[in-house]
Structures are given as structure tokens and as C-alpha cells.
């Protein structure tokens, strides 16, 4: 998350750097500008990122700009949240999930 509360967009190199460097868990938001549920979810993710920043770092991947990451993570729908710990996927949330359900997963995996 940036200092102004936005979730930063990452490319493959930046994503690998975040995963390698951060001791927190990483949540990747796979989204698209055409995806209404993605746009609806974003402010909630920004709030969750602010509330849980000590345990989780959020980054975003635009699926049309980075198809190599879509393939790497086997993304089949948007939005998809991929939760990583130590570089390994520990959970995945596909489709429009309520923010409370996302937060429950974050707390359980923290």
C-alpha cells in the first residue's frame, strides 16, 4: 500500500521483489478495469490494507497488462485474491467476496 492508501500496481519483477523482501504476507489483487466487482471491491481492500498493514501487504495486478502473471498464478476469474506467505500460496478468494469474509481469512492466516 502506498502512503496515500492506494494499492500499488506491480509487474512481474516488482511482484517478485515484494514477495522476496517483505516479511509480511502478500495479497495479490488480480483485477481488470472492465470488471465492475473489481472496482467495487478496491476501496474495501484499501481499508483492509490500512487496517492490517502490519501483517499483510497488498499489491494489484492488472490482468490485461500482465498475462504472464495470470498464467503463473492460474487466474481464471476476476477479481481473484491470492494470499502468499513466505512466497507460497496459502489461500485464494475468487469472485466477488464480501469484505468481511476477506478479513476473516486475513485474520485466520495472520
Q: Give me the active site residues, please.
A: 35, 38
The gap from C-alpha 32 to its chain's centroid, in whole angstroms, comes to 13
Of 28, 1, 24, whose CA–CA distance to 93 is shortest?
28
| Helix residue ranges, H only, the chain | 12-21, 36-51, 67-72, 99-109
Amino acid at each position: 500500500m502506498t502512503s496515500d492508501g492506494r494499492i500499488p500496481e506491480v509487474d512481474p519483477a516488482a511482484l517478485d521483489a515484494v514477495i522476496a523482501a517483505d516479511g509480511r504476507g502478500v495479497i495479490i489483487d488480480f483485477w481488470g478495469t472492465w470488471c465492475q466487482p473489481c472496482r467495487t471491491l478496491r476501496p474495501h481492500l484499501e481499508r483492509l490494507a490500512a487496517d492490517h498493514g502490519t501483517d499483510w501487504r497488498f499489491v494489484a495486478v492488472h490482468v490485461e497488462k500482465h498475462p504472464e502473471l495470470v498464467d503463473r498464478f492460474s487466474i481464471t476469474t476476476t477479481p481473484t485474491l491470492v494470499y502468499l506467505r513466505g512466497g507460497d500460496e496459502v489461500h485464494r478468494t475468487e469472485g466477488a467476496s464480501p469484505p468481511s469474509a476477506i478479513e476473516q481469512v486475513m485474520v485466520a492466516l495472520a
